[in-house]
């Protein structure tokens, strides 16, 4: 089965491991879209706000019961999605671990030879890592479906303009996060790992699977979240908290803060790796200035 799935992506410039993960994410996205289409009527119908007084819903216990029932149903569906995705992820856990450890294996084999491998130092370490990776990957796989369930519950209470804003921002947020994770995996880690593992050159490193998986997933998560900067500023501009003029005038402070953030995210103390992280964040800050200008134009902000 995995070989047949990987064959579907044979024409793409990705290896078999990435093809399997991509196939799992494609299934998850497909399930999310089917869920949204199936529930499109409940999404489009506005919630009864009792003649504009939303607080009146909570004055009568009978009026809030249907909403609690709907919330319970969506939470159950989301939990089922996570369980199913975790089972699927369990079949791909060894593949996920191979993907996560590939950068360090490549670096150490180039430096020390073919006898360097990732090791297990505790009898239960392999089982612990397997379960942790399976659950984490399952949550990642299920995240589009879980977000779809949450959206079905809250969308009926939103205005059409607010729904359109969500449909615009959600793909943008997902794209920024995926870009950040890809940047950390393909650019940042290959540069940082040689520095870290060859810092004490006479000492031959031993890579422990548990600590390394924690390290890689932490770096991927924080870099991915840091790439959400333009979206955060866009939302703040929509709320009237910031505007493009404010961001442009305080760019020097922003550069200093980005340098500090890069130092916290970067696993190495050298300026080269800090610069690799800081450079895209500065570009994202410039993009934030442009987006906030669209979110809150100067003439409207001044009015």
What pLDDT is attached to residue 116?
Answer: 67
What pLDDT is attached to residue 273?
Answer: 75
What pLDDT is attached to residue 303?
Answer: 44
What pLDDT is attached to residue 200?
Answer: 73
Note the pLDDT tens digit of each residue in 55-102.
554 555 556 777 788 889 989 999 999 999 999 889 888 888 888 888
What pLDDT is attached to residue 75?
Answer: 92
What pLDDT is attached to residue 295?
Answer: 77
3-state secondary structure of 76: helix
Rg (CA), the chain: 23
Separation between Cα atoms, residue 117 and residue 132, nearest integer Å: 21
CB-based burial label for 239 (10 Å; 0-12, 13-18, 19+): exposed
Q: What is the dihedral of CA 8, 13, 16, 20, to 10 degrees?
A: -60
Residue ranges for the chain with pLDDT beneath 70: 1-15, 41-63, 112-116, 267-269, 296-303
Q: What's the whole-model pTM score?
A: 0.76
Note the pLDDT tens digit of each residue in 252-263.
999 999 988 888
3-state secondary structure of 9: coil
β partners of residue 119: 208
Helix residue ranges, H only, 113-250: 125-155, 160-183, 189-197, 209-226, 229-238, 244-249
Q: Maximum Cα–Cα distance for the chain, whole Å? A: 76
Residue 205 gets which letter from DSSP? Answer: P
């Amino acid at each position: 089965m995995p070989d047949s799935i990987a064959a579907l992506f044979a024409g793409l410039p990705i290896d078999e491991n990435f093809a399997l993960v991509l196939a799992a994410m494609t299934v998850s996205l497909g399930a999310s879209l089917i869920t949204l289409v199936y529930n499109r009527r409940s999404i489009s119908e506005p919630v009864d706000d009792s003649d504009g007084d939303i607080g009146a819903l909570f004055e009568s216990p009978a009026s809030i019961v249907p909403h609690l029932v709907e919330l319970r149903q969506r939470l159950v569906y989301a939990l089922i999605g996570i369980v199913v995705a975790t089972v699927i992820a369990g079949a791909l856990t060894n593949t996920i671990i191979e993907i996560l450890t590939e950068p360090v294996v490549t670096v150490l084999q180039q430096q020390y030879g073919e006898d360097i491998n990732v090791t297990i130092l505790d009898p239960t370490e392999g089982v612990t890592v397997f379960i942790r990776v399976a659950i984490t990957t399952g949550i990642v796989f299920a995240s589009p479906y879980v977000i779809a369930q949450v959206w079905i519950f809250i969308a009926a209470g939103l205005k059409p303009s607010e729904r359109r804003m969500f449909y615009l921002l959600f793909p943008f947020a997902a794209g920024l996060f995926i870009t950040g994770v890809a940047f950390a995996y393909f650019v940042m880690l290959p540069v940082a790992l040689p520095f870290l593992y060859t810092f004490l050159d006479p000492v031959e490193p031993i890579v422990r699977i548990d600590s390394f998986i924690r390290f890689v997933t932490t770096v991927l998560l924080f870099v991915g979240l840091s790439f959400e900067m333009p979206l955060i500023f866009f939302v703040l501009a929509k709320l009237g908290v910031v505007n493009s003029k404010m961001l442009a005038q305080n760019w020097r402070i922003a550069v200093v803060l980005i340098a500090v953030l890069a130092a916290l995210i970067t696993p190495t103390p050298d300026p080269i790796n800090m610069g690799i992280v800081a450079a895209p964040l500065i570009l994202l800050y410039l993009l934030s200035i442009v987006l906030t200008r669209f979110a809150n134009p100067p003439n409207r902000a001044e009015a």
